[in-house]
Each structure stands twice: as structure tokens, then as C-alpha cells.
Amino acid sequence: MTEDTSRPGRIRFPDISPRAYEHPADRGALVALRAIPGFDQVLKAISGAIGERSVRLAFLATSIRVSPRQFPDLHQVLTECATTLDLQPVPELYVQRDPMPNAMAIGLDKPIIVITTGMLDIVDHEGLRFIVGHEVGHVLSGHALYRTMLLQLIAVANSIQWMPIGAWGLRAIILGLNEWFRKSELSCDRAGLLCGQDPKAALRVHAALAGAKEPDEMDTTAFLDQAKEYESGGDIRDSFLKILQTADLTHPMAALRAAELQKWIHAGYEDVLAGNYPRRSADKDAPLSEDVKAAAASYRKDFETSADPLFKVLNKAGSVVSGVSGSAANRVRDWWKSGPGARPDGDR
């Protein structure tokens, strides 16, 4: 861990592993995704059809490539974020004319970052650092390949909807990719925060994506309260509506993303700042089983602590079933100890 001389007080993270900021459900969802039948074959087919050159050539011809001569301030932010997360080589960055605020890392072996003019319009300088750092995190984590695959599959699925069998097969993979990508966004929000090291700027970005135009027009506490109300309000009908609302989304909803990042700020962020983070050089020794266990623990914790009405009912039902089955098991065990002549209820 060293200080970033581009701004006094900003910390750099030499040899940082993506595991330092990746959400456990991100890595676990990717493991599950790779287990979907046909996933590897589809990945190979898309990789062969797209090619590295076509992705870069498309943006080279239609967008502005950021450099010391074009968008120099943005180029400096990119360089600083790559330095902060110790990413080499620095990926190319393109600005695309599009009023919709968006940013993405796409490509195969050599990913590129794309930011729309709509995104540049709604964030301030430190918010832009959070956005660029977020995308640098995607590159460092190797997410660009799967993001590219998702975009291509969505295009293919839209073109063959009249073929039910083929469409349903792709649908399963797309749903799996969407679930993973929503988790990967939570991971890279953390990477963006590590690059900017300004929690308030990160919160402003999430609020801007939700619709805030001026900082004076919003209250951050009230914005985070929206996430609490969404997660805990309503009844079971609302729970099912939430499932339907999120199934086709590639990104988590803005208020929920903000709330999730706030959790990590209070449980993980400070440790990384202090230099307590896994090193990339040790990644090869990290067993895959740890990712699966961490993901399972994450989902279990979310399930047990969720204020969602449906989760509460299921959690309560699980506790009742567990208690009943435990009592039954105890009676059988006592009967076995008492001998074959005894009845399971303890009577002779």
C-alpha cells in the first residue's frame, strides 16, 4: 500500500487481487453460470464470431478515443485509477455520443472502456473518478468477456424469438448472465470507491443515476431510506413483483446499489485502505471452493437478515421445519438408545 502522489492522501494498492473488492455472490454466481449446460460452447462460439478486432474497430470509427490530446482530464483520471488498482496495461477509453448515462467494459483479450456523453453530463469530477474506477475494476476482474457475451446473446435472442426451443435455451443463459452481472456491479462499485476514496461522491453518482440533478435537491439519508422501504415494505405480492422487476435487469437498482455499497464501507472498505487485502500474486493458491462457500454464506446471510416479506415467511417456515425435524430426530435417537422394544414416543 502506497500513497497516490496524484492527489495527497489517496492510497494505492500494489498487487491488489480482485478478491479484495469482489462481492462473494459475484464470484459464486459466475461459478454457477459456468455450470449451465451449453455455457462453454456458447462462449466459444461467440468468442470466435466476434473477434477482438471488431469490437475495437467499431468504437474507433464511431467514438472519441480518450488520450492526452482528447479529453485530457478524463485520460488522467483513467491513468490514476489504473495506477491505484495496479492495472497494466491501461485499457483504452472511448467516449460515445449517447444521451443515456452508461459506462461499460467490453472486449475479449484486450478490453476497452466506453463512457457515454450522458454519463459525463450527470457526474462531477470525483463522481467521474468513481465511474472510471468502477470500469477499471471490471477489467481487473475479467468481467468484460462475459459482459460482451451478454450483449451478443441478447441481440441473438431478440432475432430468434420466433424459434421457441432456441430462444428458451438462450433465455436460461441470459438470465444466468444477468444475475451474475448484477452481482458484478456491486463488486465494481467497491472498486470505484477504492479508486476515488470518496464515499460521498459514490453516493452522489447513485443518486444522479436515480434522477437527482443538483446536490442541494436531495437528502442522502432520505435516498438510502428509499432502499430500506423497498426491501422491507409491502407484502408477499410485492416480493414477487420485485423478482419479476429484476429478472431482466443487468444492473441493480440505483438506491439498492447505494445501500449495498454503504454496507461495505462499514465492513471491509477500511481494511483494504489499511493494506489488509489479498494479493494478486497469491490468487493461484486460492481454492475455488472458497468462492463457492463465500457465495453460499452471502446468500444465506441475506436470506436470514432480509426484511423482505417473502423472505421472512420462508425463513420462519424453515425454522419451524428445522425445529420439527430436529425434535423428530431426537425422538428417534432416544428410541434407538432405549432398544427395539421401545416406541419412538418413549412408551413401552
- Please list the ranges in the chain whose pLDDT falls under 70: 1-8, 31-36, 38-52, 154-173, 176, 233-250, 286-348
Residue 177 CB coordination number (10 Å) = 24
Edge-to-edge order in the sheet of strand 93-96: 64-65, 93-96, 112-116, 103-106
pLDDT of residue 319: 44
Parent domain of 254: 2-289
Residue with cell 453460499: 296
Which of the 8 DSSP states describes residue 216?
A: G
Instruction: Tell me the C-alpha distance between 246 and 67, whole Å.
Output: 37
Answer yes or no: is 313 within a domain. no
Concerning whether 135 is annotated as a catalytic residue, the answer is yes
Which of the 8 DSSP states describes residue 211?
A: T
Answer yes or no: is 261 within a domain. yes
The model's pLDDT over 133-189, given as tens digits with 9 standing for 90+, comes to 999 999 999 888 777 777 777 666 665 554 444 455 566 667 767 777 788 999 999
CA atoms 157, 161, 165, 166: torsion sign: negative
Answer yes or no: is 205 within a domain. yes
Number of structural domains in the chain = 1
> One of 22, 80, 126, 135 is an active-site residue; which one?
135
Contact status, residue 50 vs residue 169, Cβ threshold 8 Å: no
Answer yes or no: is 185 within a domain. yes
pLDDT of residue 159: 59
pLDDT of residue 322: 39
pLDDT of residue 183: 86
User: Largest alpha-carbon pair distance within the chain?
Assistant: 92
pLDDT of residue 91: 96
Specify the DSSP element, H or E, that contains 115.
strand 112-116
Q: Which of 7, 189, 187, 137 is nearest to 80 (CA)?
A: 7
pLDDT of residue 240: 62
Answer yes or no: is 297 within a domain. no
pLDDT of residue 138: 94
Answer yes or no: is 103 within a domain. yes
Answer yes or no: is 337 within a domain. no
Q: Which of 183, 261, 250 is nearest to 220 (CA)?
A: 261
pTM: 0.75
pLDDT of residue 220: 85
Specify the DSSP element, H or E, that contains 120.
helix 117-122
Answer yes or no: is 317 within a domain. no
